[in-house]
Structure 1
Amino acid sequence: MMPIYNVIDISSYIINYSNQINHPINNLKLQKLLYYVQAAMLIEVGRKCFDSKIIAWKFGPAIPEAYRYYEEYGRNNIPNQDGHKTIKLDDKTLMMSYAQPVEIDYTTKTIIRNIVDSYLDITNPLELSKKTCREDPWKSTSLNQEIMCSEISKYYKKQPRLIYECC
């Protein structure tokens, strides 16, 4: 069974892949790509990609944990994340340590690459923001409330092409 990943590990993969193909992204675009990766995993694999909450923010869906992690870059493109480490707590010793990022499975990597590739031509992330705000999961959720994965799944099962369809 495939794991549910840490959103920072998934974010790092998206950022590094985007930089590798010479289409770097900023935090706003990252948020929308994470949203569509989650939607694609729910529809194509039947499970979440990551467990962090997706919140309906003013400019569309966002994952606060990932947003805060990368907010130091502001509107600038985010550089490669080769050295990021996740802090973990050992329940038995109550000691903090660094966990190495886990290897992402082939299916998840393929979905991520397909999502990133679908939105390569969007250079203004506000276009992607507007797209997500026209779609029901965001529209039907009150601002600053969680967009439930059940709603994301229900909406995109009826029209899966919207996950990959550019503005």
Structure 2
Amino acid sequence: MDKYDYFVNDVLKVVNWFKIRNFSDMKDDRNVEPLSQMKVMKLLYYVQGVSLAVYGKKMFPDNLVAWKYGPVVEKVYDIYRGQYAIVDPFADGMPSEEIADYIDLSNDTTVVSVLEAVQDNYGGMSAIDLMNKTHKELPWLETSQSGTISNDLIKDYFEKEVVNG
């Protein structure tokens, strides 16, 4: 049993928030690249870390796993397996369910403060830059390959290095 409560009951709602944000950003700026599976995985890691460090609660219930290319949420990987971009910049719009998730999370001031902070601080980085960054951080370094990254380790690291650092 995990000792940490969480804000959002489905990690896919958080993914959808980033997808809608990315789609909107691409419409405003042609230089914005489509959100990739790898990048959203790293953003989820930072969301979980900031949420644990600032609020003592996980953003979503899923564990992060230390894979070769950095932290991964296996449920998200399974859904987007084999895809590079998970947002189509040429689409006429986004699915209504994804928009509803974006609106729902945006209406929660605590949740959106974490999502916006992560987007503002890490959203401009490439997936490769984020991967390289996670590979230098203790939660990934101290977890065996394919092992679950401890929420206590994430919380402690983010409290020291990200929030108070």
Structure 1-normalised TM-score?
A: 0.77
Residue 82 of structure 1, aligned match among 75, 79, 95 = 95
Query: 1:7-156 to 2 correspondence within 5 Å?
Result: 7-22=11-26, 23=32, 24-72=34-82, 74-79=83-88, 82-84=95-97, 101=101, 103-104=104-105, 105-123=108-126, 125-156=127-158
- Tell me the C-alpha RMSD between the 2 structures: 2.5
Shift in CA distance, 112/75, structure 1 to aligned 2, threshold 3 Å: same
More strand by share: 1
Deviation at 1:161, TM superposition (A): 4.8
Aligned equivalents of 1:58 and 1:153: distance in 2?
A: 21
Q: Extract structure 1 runs of 4+ deviating beyond 6 A.
A: none
The structure whose residues are more often helix, as a share, is 2
Conservation of the 8 A alpha-carbon contact between 2:135 and 2:141: yes
Measure, in 2, the Cα distance between the counterparts of 1:113 and 1:19: 15
**Unmatched tracts of structure 1, length 5 or more:** 86-99
| Cα distance in structure 1, aligned partners of 2:42 and 2:144 | 18
1:81 & 1:137 partners in 2: Cα distance? 34
- CA distance in 1 between counterparts of 2:95 and 2:56 reads 29
In the superposition, relative to structure 1, how do residues 162 and 60 fare at CA in structure 2: closer, same or farther (>3 Å)? farther
Secondary structure at 2:66 match in 1: strand
Number of corresponding residues: 147
Identity %, equivalent residues: 25
Q: 1:131 to 1:3 in 2, by over 3 A?
A: closer
TM-score between the two structures when normalised by the length of structure 2: 0.78
> Residue 3 of structure 1 corresponds to which residue in structure 2?
7
